[in-house]
Amino acid sequence: MSTPVNFLQCLSHHSDNATSISTLVYTPINSTYSSALDITIQNLRFLTASAPKPLLIVTPLEVSHVQAAIICSWQYELQTRIRSGGHDHEGLSYLSEVPFVMLDMVNLRLVAVDAEDETAWVQSGATVGELYYRIAEKSKTLGFPAGVWPTVGVGRHFSGGGYGTLLRKYGLAADNVIDAQLVDTQGRLLDRESMGEDLFWAIRGGGGGSFGVVVSWKVKLVPVPSTVTVFTLQRTLEQHATKLAHQWQLLGNKLPNDLFMRVILHSHNSGPNRTRTMQASFSTLYLGGVDALLEVTKSSLPELNSRDRTAPR
């Protein structure tokens, strides 16, 4: 029998819920294989016929399916790739130069928020946006310091560190992970206590898939004010973008921790003749109201010439 057939039998043998296995596995002979593979790929260069393809795509519904996939991959000497949101532009979660199985966490996306305890359990297939949404359903004064792109999967985001707009006050997403459920290379389900502090440290920034498959994460929620202020200010070279960017580099670390500001440089067509120039975009989040923010920018970066443009209500 072929490897896919043997692998499917192996999954059924090692899963607690074997009856659903056949509906969770895609092989190249399935009509829906290509759509299951391509749906979250962000780098279009990998949407080609020549790009390496997995022998099977497994989309687990429960922990035992993940355990079975790991055990069977070892048994048939197949490499395992793990995908949560698909924002892996290098393709490491869905490409390999050797025969491999892709474990797509798309069905494991439960988010359980405990506002009273100020914690949440979030499965690796959930997106950053889903986590934010579930937190906001329970509290208007709790948040979590993760990224700005809502469709990024938390599995890779947390395991890679997790850079976001609250980092100056609360650190990276990984800094606020307080427990996790990990399936190791032997198929064992481990939590923080049973995996030990060294491994727990490694999965928070050491890269997803390096040490096993993190099924879910327990995160510490952080207090945020009910009112926050955001703005994006754009300046071209002709509008002294170079001077502003330089001053931001000198003063950025001295700004209050409630203020996050990043600068993105990109090409821009300016003026009536659409002359090519460079533009700096200053994107800002402030944990507080607009009046307090204006006081900070006026004293620290007056060249931004920011002012309250809030429409009267």
The pTM score is 0.90
Q: What is the pLDDT of residue 104?
A: 96
Q: What is the pLDDT of residue 263?
A: 94
Q: What is the pLDDT of residue 252?
A: 87
Q: What is the pLDDT of residue 43?
A: 86
- DSSP label of 312: P
Q: What is the pLDDT of residue 312?
A: 41
In the chain, which stretches have pLDDT less than 70?
Answer: 1-2, 208, 271, 305-313
| Angle (nearest 5°) at CA 12 between 8 and 17 | 135
Q: What is the pLDDT of residue 32?
A: 93
Q: What is the pLDDT of residue 307?
A: 58
Burial 43-60 (b: 16+ CB within 10 A, else e): eeebeeeeeebbbbbbbb
Q: What is the pLDDT of residue 306?
A: 59
Tokens (6 digits) for 313: 């209500």
Q: What is the pLDDT of residues 3-35, one digit of tens each?
A: 778 898 999 999 887 777 888 999 999 999 999
| Strand ranges inside the chain, DSSP E | 25-26, 56-58, 79-83, 100-104, 111-114, 119-123, 142-143, 177-183, 189-190, 213-220, 222-223, 229-236, 259-270, 275-286
